[in-house]
Chains A and B, each alone.
Chain A
Amino acid sequence: MNSVESTDVLVIGSGFGGAIAAYHLAAGGARVVVLERGPWLAADEFDHDFQLGSSYTRIFDFVVGDGMSILGGNCVGGGSVVYFATMPRAPRFIFERRGSIGRRMWPAAIDRDSLDPWYDRVVEALPVTQQSWDKVPYAGGLFAAACAHAGRTANPVPAAIDTDECTNCNWMMAGCRFDAKRSLLLNYLPAALAHGAEIRPKHEVQSLTRTDDGRYRVHYRIVDDVDYRVLHDSGTIEAAIVVLAAGTAATPVILQRSEPELGPMPHAVGRYFSGNGERLNTMILDEDRVREVLGLDRGDGRVYEAYQIGRGPTVATWDQLDGSLPEYERFSLEQLYFPPGLGTILAQVPDATGPTWFGVEKKEMLKSWPSWLTTFTMSEDDNEGVFGPPPETGNAVRMSQQMLGNGPLRYEPTANTWRGWNLSDAAVKDIFERDGLAQVRPWTNDLVGAYTVHPLASCRIGDDPETSALDDRHELRGHPGIFVTDGSAVPCGLTVNPALTISALAERAMPGIVEAAQERGVPVTYGAPSPDGATAGRRAVAGTA
């Protein structure tokens, strides 16, 4: 017991929030250890396979809560490995949102202008690139054409994808076999390793304690290689600084479990969770009408029949991202692919005479799967999610050896949240039922509640100690030396895909974390270039200091 391992900075989680911290702190000279709950896979281990036990179930978690289910990454690289790499910036009005608290939710120090240089840093690092129409897959093209037909605009969305390498296989949720997706495995994480950071996979952090001299001890269990329900040895590492980036669905759970030892947590830990206002609709396209009305043709006799082809969402319509509209009435719609299994059971049969999600009519609906298209709503929810008492270990009671578990989140959508969902459902119908292009139904919320692939805000930044767990430097209130840099720190739903904003906030937090480390005696400096050595982003943020 006398020889507890020690490091300068302990990073929990290796997704965007963890990888960015690991890189900057290691490059600045600190000793950095990253503990990651999931496995560490490389491109040639990413399977094109739905079989249980393939990379799809090894690196992806589906946590069912009461009223809300969360999909997220569970591997070295976190969400960046399983996500669709769609990387828009949050619209300007988002930073002025008031939500349920009746005053601005974001810290006064942050708005779109002040965050733009930090967005630029991430754009340079991954990199994020603008997408051209000539490389938009069929589904995105059809979505755009339908929007135009309805008098709406549509944009190819910036993405962290090298389209020259992409095969449009749509297996992104199982990891990118071709390294076309610019995940953290290709930039921040290898750069952190090159600067001496250590990444330890299959280490699930359970709780934190504090030493008499104000350092922290991080307590973990080793997760079994195959059966994640089985935990092996335990261990402890001591550090001057802890960067908590276990993901929105895990970060508050670790803090809640630590409360008996660490002392009271801020009220907002495990509260104000946002599902980013997400909702899905499935359309079944009438191929003949698509040809007649939109004039689309693949050139081989087919019109569309291309749901399986592409790279997740590629085109969005931003007409409702209008800051002059009332809060809760603003949303974006994005074309989306969702693989079979989880992506089919919740889709409902249009005009069903019997059950909407199973049965004879559902089987008939599945026969037209190539002619499906999914739209993805990201709207302004009411931060109404609350985490109940933590499970004994991890952030869920795992049901299957991988992927499926039950978590403590409770989410009861308010009338405000439903306003955005209903308006977006109506917009989708307006676009796709116009002139008989498609039949449209939203996914059912009756089976696993609502669902989000972009959980946010369960441990958020803010200026008000009553409604934010972190100050505007991302330090946990009342617990100096603990910083949170993942999606849980984002104050609210963003109406767009949040990964770029999570990353920009993490980049913005780095100078302050370095300063805190220095104050705690860690020999570290801030000022690393982009992971590949580029310096334009560093020069730009130097002007913000």
Chain B
Amino acid sequence: MARTEDVDKPDIDGGRTITIEAFADTILPGEKRSPDDRAIAGAADGAGAVAAGAVELLEQPGGGMAEALDSLAFSLNEHAIEYADEQRLTLDSDVPAFVALPFDHRTALVQLLTAPDQPDKQMWVSLAVFCTMAFDSAAHLRTADAIADGHPGLLTIGYARPDGDGLWRFPRYSYGRQLADVHPHTTSTGSPA
């Protein structure tokens, strides 16, 4: 799922993919795909949003984000340059500015961009929502297939496997006993008085 072939070629799409990957990795971080992986900072063990398919989900034409990715990546890098200036950071020019930010600074910048008083907050929140959805609901894949294929996000959250027909059923579901007194004023219909 991860686009290792793009990692060493940040210019392949104007740096868009590597920038979006770095954003996704900030939302739900994962381990590097290779020692020279620049998009993924390696801030956490196991797969993160990138390996879960964040870019694939964002590129789905029906999601409404695909057309905006170029401008989001451009704008994110502009914000990163501005942020680096303010923080007096020197950025490596081999990769887009956001990618060049150390993980803690990527995190701080995403916090700034999604703060309630930020004028363009909504687009960064939308980007984050899709990154999250890629990880914990694999919204670019059929859910039953994603689980069968070992989707890392669904496995991480412990989402149960379906029955053989792709449907979920839980025949054992109850402690089977009364566990609290009901409200003394409950009516005969079972409602509050």
Contact = CB atoms under 8 A, between A and B. Distances in A.
Interface of A: 48-54, 64, 88-92, 119, 123, 130-131, 133-138, 141-142, 144-145, 147-148, 152-158, 167-171, 177, 226-227, 296, 298-300, 305-306, 308-310, 315, 317-319, 321, 332, 339-342, 344-345, 354-355, 358-360, 362-364, 366-367, 369-370, 398-402, 404, 406, 446-448, 496
A332 B183 CA distance: 12
A298 B172 contact: yes
A136 B173 CA distance: 8
Contacts of B92: none
Given A52-B139, A340-B157, A446 B107 contact: no
Nearest to B135: A366
B4 interface: no
A131 B110 CA distance: 46
A interface: dominant SS:
loop
Nearest to A341: B137
Given A138-B174, A154-B182, A446-B115, A88 B192 contact: yes
Interface string B164-193: 001111111111111111111011011111
A123 B114 contact: no
B125 interface: yes
A169 to B, nearest CB: 4
Contacts of B19: none
A134 B142 CA distance: 34
B50 to A, nearest CB: 12
Contacts of B111: 355
Contacts of A344: 132, 136, 157
12 contacts: A48-B168, A49-B142, A134-B174, A153-B184, A167-B170, A171-B168, A340-B159, A345-B128, A358-B132, A363-B156, A399-B126, A401-B61
Specify the main secondary structure of chain B where it touches its partner. loop
Nearest to B162: A48
Nearest to A149: B180
B137 A340 contact: yes
Given A145-B180, A363-B29, A446-B116, A138 B173 contact: yes
B133 interface: yes
Contact of B64 (A305, A309, A366, A401): A401
B69 to A, nearest CB: 14
Contacts of B171: 167
B39 interface: no
A319 B156 contact: no
